[in-house]
Amino acid sequence: MNFKKSFKYLLKPKKVENTLFNQFSGAKRWIFNWGLDQRKQMWEKEKKRISLFDQNNELVHLKKGEDLAWLKEIHSQVLQQSLNDLDRAFVNFFNGLKKNIQIGYPKFKCKGMKDSFRYPQGVKVEEDKVWLPKIGWIKFKKTREIEGVIKQTTIIRERDNWYVVFSCEIEKDLPKVNIDPKKTVGIDLGLKYFANLAIGKDNHFVTIENPKYLRKALKKLQFLSKELSKKSKGGKNRYKARKKLSNLHCHLKNLRLDFFHKLALMIVKSHDIIGVEKMNIKAMMQGLKTLSRAISDAAWGMFLNCLKNKALEYGKNLYEVSSFLASTRKCSKCGEKNNIKLGQSRYFCECGQNIDRDLNAAINIKNLAVGASV
Ligand SMILES: [Zn+2]
């Protein structure tokens, strides 16, 4: 069985290397914007689409031009990866149109937002040094061993530091676990609490809140987004505000990953049958378009990924149950469907059920997982 795992380390570039990082990420951004502009113009003027293949060919000619000779200094794979990203963005956009899901039209990239570049191959690692083609050996702070085979290497700026991320593939035998049918949990992801758990036969109810540091960072994020929208376009203050926001996004993502990692590990270690609601991407995208909602959606997706990986690693049974079957309207005692209003916190049923709304949802999810496991 192959697992994917990423390993991230702080890079220790010298001044000249730092300049090269800026050049590489700048060139990647330039190529992305060039490709996007070309696709846009072609469509507006001639109603034609350009393929990735054609754009890659044009890139070769582009580099021959005198005024763009600086592109030759950049490793060609880094530039090709940028065109791949652009192509992916268009594929996602068109797939979204077909399925009636709102995925934004690809946007031009600005400096200071997600500065990065990546190599699909050609990277070598020796102890605490990494060889980056056309850049050279760079030292990094090796906090743990890299496992598996490196499939892709990304250099990314977070705040004012550069990091290297090795995306690896690890081959591992799946652990053989005797599944205990009594160790069950149903997980309902929510807005009020991050997760609501119904545990075991007795439906022990546990709510999991976002940690305080996360809630604080989320509040700040909303504040900074508002600030940014007030700044005039193209101004220096807007650039500063955007950079601030981008730093916070990055910080928040790291805090989150850490929280998700710990929570998923706790759940997977103590339960053998785990039920969780399948994320309904379409419903999410068409739902409330508030910032906090968008952030929650992204967080749920991240957490689910984390949980799936951990369940696989520990040999536990994870079931994703459909939102339709695990409807919040369904009574977890008798199965009857009752109406429940948006703000209503208790669930009532004629069968005598009077229970917390989120617990009712979590029990439904757990019951479906138990049903699927037999
Ligand atoms: Zn009932």
pLDDT band, residue 225 (cuts 50/70/90): confident
Does residue 227 lie within any of the structural domains? no
Interval between CA 335 and ligand 1 midpoint (Å):
6
What's the 354 CA to ligand 1 centre distance in angstroms? Answer: 9
User: Residues 163, 26: contact at Cβ < 8 Å?
Assistant: no
Q: Residue 33: pLDDT band by 50, 70, 90 thresholds? A: very high
Are 131 and 197 part of one and the same domain?
no
Asked whether residue 230 is assigned to any structural domain, the reply reads no
> Each residue of 264-323: pLDDT tens digit?
999 999 999 999 988 765 455 555 556 566 666 678 888 998 999 899 889 999 999 987
Residue 336 CA, ligand 1 centroid: distance in Å = 5
pLDDT, mean over the chain: 88
- Cα of 350 vs centre of ligand 1, distance in Å, is 6
Percent share of the chain, pLDDT over 70:
94
End-to-end CA gap in the chain: 24
Residue 347 CA to ligand 1 center (angstroms) comes to 9
Ligand 1 centre distance from Cα of residue 329 (Å): 10
CA distance 270 to 369: 16
Is residue 219 situated within a structural domain?
A: no
Distance CA 134, CA 132 (A): 6
The CATH number for 352's domain is 3.30.420
Residue 165 maps to a domain: yes
Mean per-residue pLDDT for 219-231? 85
pLDDT of residue 351: 95
Examine the domain organization and report whether 162 and 189 are in the same domain. no
Sign of CA dihedral 217, 218, 221, 226: negative
In the listed set 171, 205, 238, which residue is the last one of a domain according to the structure?
171
Q: How does DSSP assign 136-161, residue by residue?
A: EEEEB---S---SEEEEEEEEEETTE
Quick count: other Cβ atoms within 10 Å of Cβ 371? Answer: 12
In a domain, 196, yes or no: yes
Final residue of a domain: which of 171, 203, 226?
171
Residue 334 contacts residue 351 (beta carbons within 8 Å):
yes
Instruction: Quote the domain boundaries for residue 284.
Output: 184-213+246-373
Same-domain check for residues 150 and 298: no
Q: How many domains does the chain have?
A: 2
Q: Higher model confidence: residue 26 or residue 212?
A: 26
Q: How far is the CA of 351 from the centre of ligand 1 (A)?
A: 4
CA dist 310 to 8, 145, 177, 225, 324, Å?
A: 19, 19, 14, 34, 26
Q: Are residues 156 and 264 in the same domain?
A: no
Residue 16 has pLDDT above 90, yes or no: yes
Average pLDDT over residues 165-185: 90
Q: From ligand 1's centre to the CA of 276, what distance in Å? A: 22
Whole-number Å distance, alpha carbon 202 to ligand 1 midpoint, is: 17
| Claim to verify: residue 8 and residue 108 sit in the same structural domain | yes
Same domain, residue pair 37 and 151:
yes
CA 353 / ligand 1 centre spacing (Å): 5
Report the pLDDT averaged over residues 191-219: 89
In a domain, 200, yes or no: yes
Q: How confident is the model at residue 340 (pLDDT cuts 50, 70, 90)?
A: confident
Q: Does residue 298 lie in a domain region?
A: yes
Tens digits of per-residue pLDDT, 79-92?
A: 999 999 999 999 98
pLDDT score of 291: 58
Ligand 1 centroid–CA 348 distance in Å is 8
Pair 162, 268 in one domain: no
Ligand 1 centroid to Cα of residue 338, in Å, is 8
Residue 115 and residue 34 share a domain? yes
State whether 194 and 133 are in the same domain.
no
Q: Are residues 149 and 277 in the same domain?
A: no
Res. 34: pLDDT tops 80: yes
Q: What is the pLDDT of residue 249?
A: 82
pLDDT at 39: 93
pTM of the model: 0.76
Q: From the CA of 337, how far away is ligand 1's center (Å)? A: 8
Joined tokens for residue 221: 């994020």
According to DSSP, the β-strands at 149-158 and 161-171 are antiparallel
